[in-house]
Every structure is written in structure tokens, then in C-alpha cells.
Amino acid sequence: MNKEKKAVAVPGEQLGVEEEYMPGAGVYLEDGKLYSSTVGTLDIDTKNRRIGIRAGNIVAIPEVGDIVEGVVISPLKEDSAMIKIIAIRGKKNLTGTFTGILHVSQAAKSYVNTIYDVLNLSDRILAKVVTSWTPYQLSTADDDLGVIYATCTKCGEELVLKRGRLFCNRDKIFERKKVSRLYLLREE
Ligand SMILES: [Zn+2]
């Protein structure tokens, strides 16, 4: 394998042979071959000819079934929204930029007319990853999923969850969205 280009190792992956390197942290030797015992980025010390794995610097990528947190970014179309994925639940150190697409048919359990009935630009959402290729297809149909933070499209005030719907205290209006059960601001 090409050690220079491969930055991430997974458990059991062969990293080289003992003639090339000494095993460092997270690496074990078996039958003259070096294997990774953990997930992490390769740490190659060429001077001391030692290869190790830096487990604290795991590169996380979205996978099918992952719950991701994202922000609705431009452009927004009638039937779908582009989501910038900013974090994955249970995974650390998301590196790189990942984009997801939420199609209106995946937005709620019931029929939704346009994507604007579900969310709007710069809303923060929780979504489930449903495809393994990029841009990742997302779903917000489950009760825990959907908008978790949003501001009023008229005045910019933070919307609060009031009797199951999002409310602007300044304009005294409700906004229609697919709200997550985990919405961050609530008023009973
Ligand atoms: Zn408002």
C-alpha cells in the first residue's frame, strides 16, 4: 500500500513490514507485518523509521444511519435543500466539508408541499444519513429529527417552541417547520 497517500488507518489494516518500520503507538507486529490496532491517522516518523496511529485525530465521515447536525445553506430549491454537515453524533473531529441534500419527500412522515414548509435558510437541523455517497441524501422524518434551532424569517429573533410549534415573541407569529423533538429553545 502507499503509505504516503493513505492518511487514515482502520483496525487490522496492514501498514507495512518490519523491515520498513518499527511499530509505534496503535500498531502491532505479526509474522513480520505491521498492522493497525485502532482507527486514526498515520503518524510516520521517517527519521526513526517508526510508524504509529494517532487515535485522537480520527477522521470521521458520514455513513448510512448516522445522525448529523447541519445548517441549511444556499441555494434552496422548491423540492430540496442543501445542508452543510457540521457534526456527526458520536463521532469526533469531523474534518473536511460534507454536503447533504434533503429532498421534500424525505422531510416528514406526512406529505409536504414544498421544502419551505419544513425549513428555511440557516436553520440548524438534525438529520439521518440515508446514502453512502456524496452529496449525502438526508432524512428528517423521525420525531427526533428536523429543525433544532431557527430564527424568525421576518425579524431574526430566535424562535421558541410553544405548544409544539415555533413562535416569534416579537412578531407574535408562528412559523411552520418540521420541528425536532429536541428543539433547543422551548416555552411552555
Ligand atoms: Zn419575528
Quote the ligand 1 centre to 181 CA distance (angstroms).
22
When the pLDDT of each residue in the chain is averaged and rounded to a whole number, the result is: 89
108 and 154 fall within a common domain: yes
Asked whether residue 122 is domain-assigned, the answer is yes
Quote the ligand 1 centre to 157 CA distance (angstroms).
5
107 and 127 fall within a common domain: yes
* Confidence bin at 90 (pLDDT 50/70/90): confident
What's the pLDDT score for residue 2? 41
Quote the ligand 1 centre to 69 CA distance (angstroms).
24
Give pairs for 101-105: CB < 8 Å, separation 24+: 101/135, 101/136, 101/137, 101/138, 102/127, 102/137, 102/138, 102/139, 102/140, 103/79, 103/137, 104/78, 104/79, 104/80
Domain extent for 39? 8-57
The number of folded domains in the chain is 2
Quote the ligand 1 centre to 176 CA distance (angstroms).
13
Asked whether residue 180 is domain-assigned, the answer is yes
What's the pLDDT score for residue 97? 78
Better pLDDT: 118 or 42: 118
Asked whether residue 2 is domain-assigned, the answer is no
Between 7-21, 117-131, 153-167, 173-187, the lowest mean confidence (pLDDT) is in: 7-21
User: What tens digit of pLDDT does each residue of 117-162 get?
Assistant: 999 999 999 999 999 887 899 999 999 999 999 999 999 999 999 9
CATH number of the domain enclosing 35: 2.40.50.100
What's the pLDDT score for residue 3? 40
Q: Are 119 and 56 in contact (CB under 8 A)?
A: no
